[in-house]
Amino acid sequence: MARFAIATLTPMLLTAIAILTGGPWVWVALLSLTGFVLLVDRLGARAAAQASEEVEFPASTWLLITLGCLHFLLLALLLWSTLDVAGLDPGAQIGVAVATGLAWGQISHPVAHELIHAQRPALRQLGRLIYTSLLAGHHASAHVRLHHVHVGTYRDPNTPRRGEGFYRYALRASRQAFWGGLHEESRVHRGSWLRHPYTFYVAGSVVLMLAALTLTGPVGAATLLAVMLHAQVQILLSDYVQHYGLNRQILPDGTLEPIGPQHAWNAPHIGSSALMLNATRHSHHHLDPRAPYPSLALDEQTMPMLPRPLPAMAAIALVPPLWRRIMDPLCTRWRRRDWQPRHASSKTRIAHKRAGLKGKALPQSRYANPPLRPPVLSADHALREPRRDERGRI
């Protein structure tokens, strides 16, 4: 538990110090979120891959609450840094804005993600409030009601198609997640707009931006908006990297295979894993969404592994040709590996042969299936292949 506290609290506090004092502390804050994490990943990757599972500690929830409070402290300090009384030069202002965006995207986002899955309503509301302060409140609804139910299918806005570049994905996913989440929440809160989550998301975002404009003027509001967009790009990058090219299959009986450990990319690197509260152990999270972050585990035999740490792969995803060159062969290799006809009965083999499939359903994991059961979808509706150009791109 100590490694999570050190890895998350240190960059947040250093960013706050950088905003208050400027000078070399700006570089220290930036390095704590980039170079230092990559160095720890490189030196400790093997040890992290062999580490045993951690047990849940009561302090894990308090760490989330503390980091949530620090998120709003950074928001207030960022607005203050745009005022003349802060005394920061333009270079320092840009540096603290970038550092704050990195802290929100790599720490505040995993914190809010953990909170919206919490059992206590107050914690879930805190997670929604953090996302709303990033102008991404809809993510709290779309993630739970769409992503976890339809992950690995084209009904999930945040599951990237194989061959789909990040920029095209970001435009599509952000639009579809907003309207898809609105549709699902409207079905639950039919006729009750006062209790509708989207009322809170939209009103909270409008109030925040108006407050920023009133207190700090156009410069402060523009700075806050730019940092929010920076954090939103990192949220989209996280989903893009962790689910690229891993689709759930239609079984011979026409049903959709259950969510398994093979439907998310993972990373065993110790530095970024601690910084992002084990968000890099994404397969286990989808198998058990209520599992606390210290208990998430890795199984390299059944879970796809990224070739580099998650932050490094997110940077690579910003160059789509390089990303496809690295990841497309891995997607093909993993799909062939898991669709070998192991332990398949003769009846299953015949059914798969008639359906045009090469193997049986995926191997059993040591984890239980999650409580969320996917709906039965037709192949045409759930996994329709998008149109591709002559170079195989979408």
Residues 6+ apart with CB under 8 A from 33: 11, 15, 99, 102, 103, 106, 275
- Residue 358: pLDDT band with limits 50, 70, 90: very low
pLDDT score, position 348: 37
H or E stretch at 244: none
Rounded Cα distance, 280 and 93, in Å: 31
Q: Has residue 223 got a pLDDT over 80? A: yes
Q: Quick one: pLDDT at residue 251?
A: 77
What are 74-132's pLDDT values in tens digits? 999 999 998 888 788 888 999 999 999 999 999 999 999 999 999 899 999 999 999 99
- Average pLDDT of the chain is 82
Q: Report residue 306: phi and psi, to 5°.
A: -70, 145
Binning the chain into helix, strand and coil, the percentages to the nearest 5 are 65, 0, 35
**Contacts of residue 305, Cβ cutoff 8 Å, sequence gap at least 6:** 265, 266, 267, 268
User: Which residue intervals of 276-345 are DSSP H helices?
Assistant: 282-287, 310-317, 320-338
From the DSSP assignment, how many helices (H) and strands (E) are in the chain?
Answer: 17, 0
pLDDT for res 57 = 60
Whole-angstrom distance between the N-terminal and C-terminal Cα of the chain?
A: 43
Residues of the chain above pLDDT 90, percent: 53
Predicted structure pTM score: 0.82
Q: What is the dihedral of CA 298, 284, 121, 174, to 10 degrees?
A: 110
Q: Mean pLDDT over residues 158-187, rounded? A: 92
Would you state the pLDDT for residue 46? Answer: 55
CA distance 386 to 383: 9
Report the candidate in 11, 115, 35 with the shortest Cα–Cα distance to residue 311: 35
